[in-house]
Amino acid sequence: MFDAIISGFGTGVVLSCMLGTVFFALIQNSIDFGYKSGIFIALGVIISDIFFISAAMAGTSFLPDTPKMSFYSSFLGGILLVGLGGTNFFKKSTEIKTTKTHLGNALYYFGKGFLLNALNPVNFFFWVAIVAHLQTEKYFPFNLQVVFFAFCLLAIFCTEVGISFSASRLRKLFTPLLLQRFNQISGIVFVGFGIKLLYDAFVKYV
């Protein structure tokens, strides 16, 4: 039990620290709108990861047999990221203001986190690889695999909330010009990931 907890938590920390679109979205939204927006983004990521892990552990047997699923997910994810990246890059610099998180905003941030994570097929393959490794090497029986992934998700959530809170605490250091530059950098990152997904869609999965 202890090994499953420690291994799962450590794996989650490593996965959550990988630089990707979710990482930049957490920082950007936490700076713009406060750490609560990052919490809802993290919740969206966790829910999509639960779907990924469940599908991987079930051998994807309950997923619909959709032809060219990899193509569609890569294409939609690429379009989403290019659109978000373009929006961020051309966003005008504004003064940072504290905003209240209403239900509509919470659902928006939750959906943003869910889609950023779910529409990137690489995330699913990460979980498939981890599940396959655990089952092949027979590190843990099924009940301890559940413990492993539960603490893995807990670590991801805690780390992403920590990133959000830290970014929100640094808001006072961000001048409008510096914020605009950060938005442009995150926009370039989003567009880069989007182009990579579109390339995979039309080159690897056609």
pLDDT of residue 45: 93
- Give pLDDT, residue 43: 94
Give the pLDDT confidence score for residue 14 in this predicted structure: 75
Q: Which residues of the chain have pLDDT under 50?
A: 60-62, 95-99, 101
Alpha helices in the chain (DSSP H): 2-16, 21-33, 35-57, 69-89, 103-118, 121-137, 142-169, 176-199
Question: Residues, the chain, total?
Answer: 206
Cβ atoms within 10 A of the Cβ of 60, count?
Answer: 14
Per-residue model confidence (pLDDT) at position 4: 86
- Structure token pair of residue 25: 């979205």
User: CA nearest 71: which of 201, 196, 195, 197?
Assistant: 201
Contact present, 191 and 85 (Cβ < 8 Å): yes
Following CA atoms 52, 54, 59, 62 in sequence, which dihedral angle do they give, to the nearest 10 degrees? -100
Instruction: Write out pLDDT tens, residues 25-75.
Output: 888 888 878 888 889 999 999 999 999 898 888 864 445 555 566 677 678
For residue 48, the model assigns a pLDDT of 93
Q: How far is CA 126 from the centre of its chain?
A: 12
Structure confidence at residue 91 (pLDDT): 66
